[in-house]
Amino acid sequence: MEPRCVAIEIANEAGVYCTRINVPGLGSEKAQFEFNLNEDSRVFQVIHKIEVGSCRTDDLKDVGSQLYVGLFSGKVAELFDRVRIPACDQNARTCLRLTIPPELQRLPWEALYDEQRDSFLVSNPNYCIMRDPPREFEHRRSSDANKLPLRVLVVIPEDSGLDVEREWHNLDQTIGKLAAEIIIPEKFEGRVTPDRLQQKLQQSYDILHYIGHGEMGSDETFRIRLNDPATADSEFWVDGETFAALFYKHAPRLVVLNCCMSAAPSASIRGLSGIAPSLLRAGVPAVVAMRYEVPDDVAIRFSDVFYRELLSGEEPGRIDAALANTRHSLYINKREGASRGFITPVLNLAADHEQLFLLSKVPPRRTESNLRPSAVFKTLRESAVPEELLETLRNGECIPIIGPGILGIGATRAASRVLGPVELLKKLASESDYPLSSEPASLPSNEWGASLLFPSICQHFQKEKKRHRLIRVIEQFYQNAEPPEELSLLAGLKVPAIIYTYFDKWLESTLVGLRRSVQTLSAIDRSCELDPHSTLLVYLRGNLSDIDSLVLTEDDHEKLWDRLGLISPIVKELMKGRAGRSSLILGLSPRDLLLKRLSTRVLEASENRSQGPTFFVCDSHSKIDEAYWEKYDVRWIPLPLNQFIEALRETDS
């Protein structure tokens, strides 16, 4: 369905700001823009908190609600209410194109908050807010929207001090999942001087993605960091107009500035919002820039989700849909201290360029599953799986606790190498001078043994002050791999949350591949605002998207043991807050000490327990295991893991 476009313009008419709204097919209306623009007012004090990064979500709601009421008043509000999307309509989408005078650009328009519906507009993926260029920025419509393959230039000036390799890796991974005839990424790094960059642009790229620094200069205009062409000094700051001048002859269709302050408003009355208007003048039809400073983890998540949605989402090539889904992901995964991340990306878009690329040739996701819930329940009924588990899955009242054993039952690389913990352990041992590395036969041959030795080998890296090397080896191990097919079967189940005890990204990427909205907690003691429409994925040992959260070494595991005593109230509520809620444990040994520690926090152990049964998939448990787990009302499913997973497969096409 083609999205509805709502054009909203604020203009100064004889000293009074007025809002004009135009909706094709429904007409237009006008009303006064009612907002306290006194910079000494309380609302501007809150805006300052947002700008310096000391804000909370309530601060965003405070300013956003006042902007919403001021923008949508009188007849304007009545007309806008006629195009608001009903919550039940998941296929409709509304694009708000804002034309804002320069002196009002500072206001955080992406934070528009509807108090009646208790929601930010951009927290809903069915809404996209974009900035319209002024009328004098008439953009010539390009004729090469259907050109393939798309060429992406990732620009990385040297010595930025950022985690640029990690962002490049994520970009390369995301783009690399598409066929080479669709898109080709190229890394441009080293000394990125103005001359070198301009020369590089002559090769006609479709997307330019910049990873680096931006700042507001002493004259309150935006500057972007390149490398000095004349000296050994690594920093060479150029203003927005100078940077845009590099694109006059060879303008990409999209420029993404994943750097701090790249969408900050200019003090100049001629400015719109940082560098974007200059790039629009130079012929770039679409610019995505950052309004505020961007933490590394937010920048990485932004790139990962944005390009996945733009290139292989439900509406490939539509930049408005891609950014709407990206903001939604940033919103549901916001963390304390970084709550403004979801309003930070700003889209400046020339008229009629929402469909930025024609990508009808994009192949379907490999992880898409044809598994239907009815088929799952059918095969479950025909297997040895208890009827009680079938019932809890049908009702969405079961929370799986999944361990790394799931990776060892058929997940292979292109070179037919197993991706499970055993193979990773061997890789880590071979990359270090760990004592057992010269005796491969002495290394564990099963996931349980690998989990016991893994912290020791990781500790060996840290002892040699090579934690960075440890993380790189793990990342490279997964770099060219695909998620195991078995995970798509588990991800297709109707569950409110999943606890994952390993740190790879396969489960998350599989959920995303199935078009599930995913909310993540990278640590068991972190909290969040729970989104009832998303699956909460809780990582027990951190994840590779947030390297600071990773639990790898013996020291890390000792700290994790303590943090398990401070488990997030959100997780406790999900596990214990509803009578009859059950758990499904698979891919883990009943002797796993972290699992036992976790169970003391999330499972009830009493005769008066209100939780449902705990289902444990394990074909090798002992009488001693049964004695320990009896207090949690465990119902053992004595099947090899591969047979249990096979029971979830659809037998009829």
Q: What pLDDT is recorded for position 373?
A: 42
Say whether 140 sits in a helix, a strand or coil: coil
CA distances (Å), origin 463, targets 154, 387, 457, 467: 35, 50, 10, 8
Residue 80 CA to residue 94 CA, distance in Å, equals: 11
Q: What pLDDT is recorded for position 276?
A: 83
* Residue ranges of the chain that CATH labels 3.40.50.1460: 150-349
Contacts 24+ apart (CB under 8 A), 413-422: 413/480, 413/481, 414/480, 414/481, 419/477, 419/478, 419/481, 419/484, 419/504, 420/447, 420/450, 421/447, 421/450, 421/451, 421/454, 421/502, 422/446, 422/447, 422/449, 422/450
Residue 457 CA to residue 434 CA, distance in Å, equals: 7
Secondary structure percentages of the chain, helix, strand, coil, to 5: 40, 20, 45
Q: What pLDDT is recorded for position 371?
A: 39
C-alpha 499: how far from chain center? 18
Residue 101 CA to residue 80 CA, distance in Å, equals: 21
pLDDT mean for each 10 residues of the chain (653 residues): 85 91 92 88 90 89 94 93 68 86 89 92 92 65 67 88 72 70 82 92 92 74 84 79 90 87 48 69 90 81 88 88 94 84 92 84 42 43 69 89 81 47 83 65 70 87 87 81 74 89 86 85 86 90 87 93 88 86 93 93 85 91 93 91 72 31
3-state secondary structure 274-334: CCHHHHHHCCCCEEEEECCCCCHHHHHHHHHHHHHHHHHCCCCCEHHHHHHHHHHHHHHCC
Cβ 622 vs Cβ 648: under 8 Å: no
Looking at 75-203, which runs of residues are DSSP E strands?
94-99, 113-114, 119-120, 127-131, 150-157, 183-190
Q: What pLDDT is recorded for position 382?
A: 46
Fold of the CATH domain 373-407+484-647:
Rossmann fold (3.40.50)
Strand ranges of the sheet holding 345-349, from the earlier edge strand across to the other edge: 27-32, 16-23, 4-13, 94-99, 127-131, 345-349, 286-290, 254-258, 207-211, 150-157, 183-190
Q: What are phi and psi of 94, to 5 degrees?
A: -125, 130
Q: What pLDDT is recorded for position 272?
A: 39
Across-strand partners of 150? 183
Residue 516 CA to residue 535 CA, distance in Å, equals: 7
Which CATH number does 150-349 carry?
A: 3.40.50.1460
